[in-house]
Each structure stands twice: as C-alpha cells, then as structure tokens.
Chain A
Amino acid sequence: MRCIGKTERVNNAPIVAEQLVRHFGEVKAVDGINLTVNQGEIFGFLGPNGAGKSTAVRMLTTLLRPTSGTARVAGFDVVKQADDVRRNIGVALQDAAIDPLMTGFELLELQAVLYGIPANKMKQRADDLLERVGLTAAADRRVGTYSGGMRRRLDLALSLIHQPVVLFLDEPTTGLDPMSRLTLWEEVRRLNREGTTVMLTTQYLEEADQLADRIAIIDHGRIVREGKPADLKRTVGDPTLLINVSRAQTDSAKTVLARFGELRPTAEGTLGVGLKGGAERVAEVVRALDEAKIVVEHLELSQPSLDDVFAEATGHRLEGAENAPQAG
C-alpha cells in the first residue's frame, strides 16, 4: 500500500463524491455531483469551458471548500482530512502554474520539501523524474524559457514527486501542439499502467476517447452521462443523417426527416436526424425528400461519436464550441 496518512481509510475507491455542490454567489458552478472513480482507472471529465469541471477538481484537490455534499479522495475526506488527501494526490494544474523565475530543478526541490520528502532521497527523486519527462538537459534553466510542452511535462513531474496514488490532470493538453499532446498521453498511460489512478478533465473529445476508461459528461454543473466511451456511444444508437437544404425548404425538410427518427441538434444550417434502422434506410429518406420536392445540397451519414453522446445529453455540441460559443 502506497497510501500514507495518519487517519484510517474508509472506502477503497480512490475518488468518491456524493451530492457535491459549489455555489459562487448566485452561480451554481457545481450542482450536485455523484461520482465514483475506481482503483487503476483513467477517468475523464468531459465538458465545455465553464461547465464546472475545474470547480469540481478544485474541491476534490482540497483547494476549494464544497458548499454542500462530501467527497473522499484516497479514502480521506477532502474537508476534514485535507492534509491526508494532499499527501496522496498529485495535481497538474490548468496552465501549468509555475514560477517563471525558478529553474526546473529548484521547483522539484521546493515541491519535495513541501511534501516532506527526506533530504537524502530528494536529489535522486528529482533526477529520476526529470529524466522520465525528458527534461534532464533543461533542469537548470529557468522555467520562463521553457516551451508550453516542456512546462506541462515539468508540471507532471512536479505532481509525481511524492508518488501519489491518485493523479489529477486539469486540461493537461489545452494549448499544446499535436506532438506534445501525444507525448503527454503516452506518459499518462504509462503512469496508469504502473498503478496510478488518473482523473483528467478535458474539453477535447478525442482526448477523452483515447485516454479514458470511463468518462463523465458535465454540463451546467451536473453530470449528464457517465460510462465507458464505447457504451455511451452505443446508447446514442442510431447514426446521424446530416443534410443541407436551402433556407426556404428547411421547415418542410424537418417534417420529412422527423418521420425517420428523432431530430438532433447540429451545426448551424445543417439538419440532423437519428436514423432509426441505420444505413439501409438512407435511400428511403432520399426518396421521401425527393417526393416532397426538396433539393438536397449535401448528405452525409455520421456514426455515433462522443460528440453525439454529448449533443444528445445536453442539446448542444462540444466540438467547435470554442469557435462558435453561440452554439451552446
């Protein structure tokens, strides 16, 4: 058992939240979250900016007191046993919060002291971690000179200095180039294989799909779906048929499409329907549209994705949400 703490542990699941609520004045940032993350899992918290992901993580990592509800992390209560929680979790923060005036090694040293790691083990631990994240050569450079990817990797190393049992990654790859993103994913998988339970928040569908064993979709402070990505996609079931028609024919096209399944939210100017019965009914739809004298400009059949799960659960899409905030 790698868990260290002065108080006895109660529950075996590394993260358990019950009716977790956080208000900021009138704003209900987190509005009653129930959540269990199992030992050895990579758990993905998926949602757009402002959905409440970071607020939830700040409560789970003892940075913010819940308005109501409870949470246990590594078996300890996040409010009453905050120090025990802190000893057992590692956290890589959004934006890699790092003092630019310090060098990578100095930051690791500081982190080691703050976690009470004995002086004689400190140097070895820091060197191992620097090597692990590929920063040995940059160890004595000031962090201000690091690239975005290097900062994230250092951030990860910092969060690992005390060998935590639970690792929180708050939007670990936001703003990174695709190469750095892949490197970081690989490292997270490796840590997970070594037994670390990981909770990551992300607004990238691909990241959740690729990394997470299970995900929770959060929107407006509530968990709206939870499960394995594959299972969730199956629940959406039918593929989405997307068509584009002229503005004048939009309403009549909707009427026709509604006969084949439930209309689904899509990007502006496109109509979508969850096609009951799947691909073999496409021809039927085309005939029906033709009979109604509707000119189809573009037609596409799209298999269910996490974005469909998201759209089905929330009524809006996540993909492209950054470019078109009005979609939400």
Chain B
Amino acid sequence: MTTTVQPSTDALISSTQRTIGILAKRSIRNIRRLPSAFFPALAMPIFNMIVFAGTFFAVTKIPGFPTDRSINWYMPLGIMMGAAFGGVGLGFTAIRDIETGFYDRLRMTPTSRLSLVLGPLTGTLVRIVMMTTIVIVLGVALGARFTGGVLGVLCLYIAALGLATIGAGWGLGLAFRFQDMRGAAVMQLSIFLVMFLSSAQVPLNVMTGWLHTVARVNPATNILRLARVGLVDVGNPDHLSWNAVWGGLVAIGVMAGLTLTFAVRSLHRLND
C-alpha cells in the first residue's frame, strides 16, 4: 500500500511547492510592475516611525517607560503597522483578481486551495522582510539602538512576519466573503482598531483607564511586546527573555491559524 501511495504524495507535495513558488513570484514581481501599490506600504511605516518618535519624543521620560529613546519604541510600531497593513493588502490584490475574473482562472485549476493562499502569502512575506530591513536601517540611522543583539533583531522580524500572516489571512478571508471593495474598508478599519487599541503608543504600565483594559487582552499587545524585546532597556521585564517572548509567539500561532483557516474556508465558500 504505502509503496504505491508514496510517489503520488511526493508529486503532490512538489506540485504544491511549485504552485506556492510561482504565485509568490507573481506577487514579488508586482513590486516592480505596480510600484504605486508598494510605495505606500514602505512610506507608511517610515512616516509612522518618524512622526511618532518626534511628536511623542518626551514620552520616554514618563516613570516606568521601558526605554529612553523614543525611536526605540516607535520604530517597531512603524514596522508592525507596515506588516499588518501589508498583510491585509493581500486582500486588496485578491479583490482586484476577483473583480477582473482572474481568480476564477486560479480556482479552476486542480491545484490545492491551500496553496492558492500560501503562494501569495509567501510573496507578501518577502515584501515584509524587505520593508522591515529598510525601516530598521533607517531607524538605526535616526538613533534606534538594539539592546538585544541579533536575537532581538530576529524577534522583530518574527513579530513582523507573524503579524503580516495574521493580516493576510484576515484580508484574504474578507476578500473572499465580500468579493468587492467593501471588504477593503472592513479590512482597514479592523486592522486600524486592533493596532491602536494595544500597547502601540505607550506600554501597558503607563496607560490608564479603558485603554488599559482593552490593550491587556488584545493579542496585538503581546505581538508588539515580542517586536520590542530587543529594543527596551536591559533589565526591563520586557527585555529579551522567554517570559516576554512566549505570549507573542502564542498570539501569532493562534491568530495566524485562525485567520488562515478563515481564508481557506472562505475560499471554498466562493463556490456557493
């Protein structure tokens, strides 16, 4: 039994890999072919980082603030905003493809539905790595200093890729449900709310009132903590340690699992 099944499984896996590869290639190629879509995705995080770090320059002087460099706090925020919106941006592309009918062509092929989601996702993640690298280089030039070394940088990348994956699943799922630009409005608004109702602007221990209540249970807070572990002061409880990291990893794992399931299920429902 196993001997006869084995080759076809192998073939299936390699075909899935090739599908993911070529769909990722299409997405990356579009950076060059449709720069008007990539440029804002890069400008937005840079702008966020600069104006937040500049406007709220003094915020680090609040007692208990985990760093004394405002750019250390707001550079990861810029990257995470870019990752979240870059992720849901995949939903925009899907809506465009649905509206032109191109998505029908993809759906008509005998390739696995999962690879129709994972392929473009891979392309998006490559874009997010590029964006993250550029913003880090710029942030360091403007005064950001990693306190957590290579491991800290790695955590920032993991957080960005994780958040982008969550956003992508959410964006694709909404795109498949709405099938038109109404979906895009829901994507942007929901991501905007989730990102701001978190420790985006100040850490949990500094905020008060209703925001504290909401941000404490918002998974985005955990992911932002993961993004910042390599940038807060050494000795702060949120500095590079298993305690500061695991919450973010769990949040990414659970949320990405949920949104990707939502995306694949919604893709199947396109037939209904």
Using CB atoms and an 8 Å cutoff, list the residues of chain A in contact with chain B: 61-65, 83-84, 86-87, 89, 91, 93-95, 97-102, 106, 109-111, 113-116, 119, 142, 158
Contacts and interface: CB of A to CB of B under 8 A. Distances in A.
Given A63-B271, A119-B18, A83 B110 contact: yes
Contact of B106 (A61, A64, A114, A119): A114
B107 interface: yes
Contact of B109 (A64, A94, A111, A142): A111
Given A99-B26, A114-B106, 16 more contacts: A62-B271, A64-B272, A65-B272, A86-B110, A87-B110, A93-B104, A98-B102, A98-B105, A99-B97, A100-B100, A101-B33, A102-B29, A113-B21, A114-B22, A116-B110, A116-B111
Contacts of B272: 64-65
Contacts of B105: 91, 93, 97-98, 111, 158
Contacts of B97: 99
Nearest to A109: B22
A101 B106 contact: no
B112 to A, nearest CB: 9
Contacts of B23: 110
B30 interface: yes
Sort chain B's interface into a size bin.
20 to 34
Given A99-B100, A101-B34, A109-B22, A114 B271 contact: no
Residue in A83, A87, A94, A99 whose Cβ sees the most chain B Cβ within 10 Å: A99
Nearest to B11: A116
B30, B33, B105, B106 interface centre (most CB from chain A within 10 Å): B105
Interface of B: 11, 15, 18-19, 21-23, 26, 29-30, 33-34, 97, 100-102, 104-111, 270-272
Contacts of A84: 110
Contacts of B110: 83-84, 86-87, 114-116
Q: Which 5 A-B pairs have the closest CB atoms?
A: A97-B101, A114-B109, A86-B110, A83-B110, A113-B22
23 contacts: A62-B107, A86-B108, A86-B110, A89-B108, A94-B101, A97-B100, A97-B101, A98-B100, A98-B105, A99-B97, A100-B100, A101-B29, A101-B30, A110-B22, A110-B26, A113-B15, A113-B21, A114-B19, A114-B110, A115-B110, A116-B11, A116-B110, A119-B18
B19 A113 contact: yes
A94 B271 CA distance: 18
Given A99-B97, A101-B33, A110-B26, A63 B102 contact: no
Contacts of B106: 114
A269 B100 CA distance: 41
